[in-house]
Amino acid sequence: DVKVTQSSRYLVKRTGEKVFLECVQDMDHENMFWYRQDPGLGLRLIYFSYDVKMKEKGDIPEGYSVSREKKERFSLILESASTNQTSMYLCASRLTVNTEAFFGQGTRLTVV
C-alpha cells in the first residue's frame, strides 16, 4: 500500500515564526502536492511538484514556498506564519499524471 506520511498531526505556532511541514511518500511517485482545507472551501492547491527540484504554483501560493530535494520528500514552508494560515494542510502524491493521488492524514496548524 502507498503510504504518505505527514510529520505532525497537530502543530501550534506563533505569528511570525517560520514553519516547516514535511511530507514523505514511499512509492517513488513523481508528483506531489500541498493543499489547504478550510470549511466550505474544499481543498485548495498551494504548490505542486512534478519532479525533484521542480515546482509549480497552485491556486493560492502567496505566503508559502516549497522544497523538493529528494523524490520522496516534499516540504511546505510558511516563511512568516500568520493567523490566516491557520488551517488543515494535506499532502498528496501520485505516480504520474492521470493516476489517482494518495493523501496523508493531514496537519492541523494553528497560528496564534
By the rule CB under 8 A, 62 interacts with another protein:
no
Nearer of residues 82 and 105 to another protein, judged by Cβ: 105
CA distances from 32 to 13, 75, 76 (A): 25, 10, 11
> Which of 1, 14, 40, 69 forms a contact with another protein (CB under 8 A)?
40
By the rule CB under 8 A, 45 interacts with another protein:
yes
By the rule CB under 8 A, 59 interacts with another protein:
yes
CA distances from 68 to 13, 74, 76, 86 (A): 23, 5, 9, 23
SS3 for 99? coil
By the rule CB under 8 A, 58 interacts with another protein:
yes
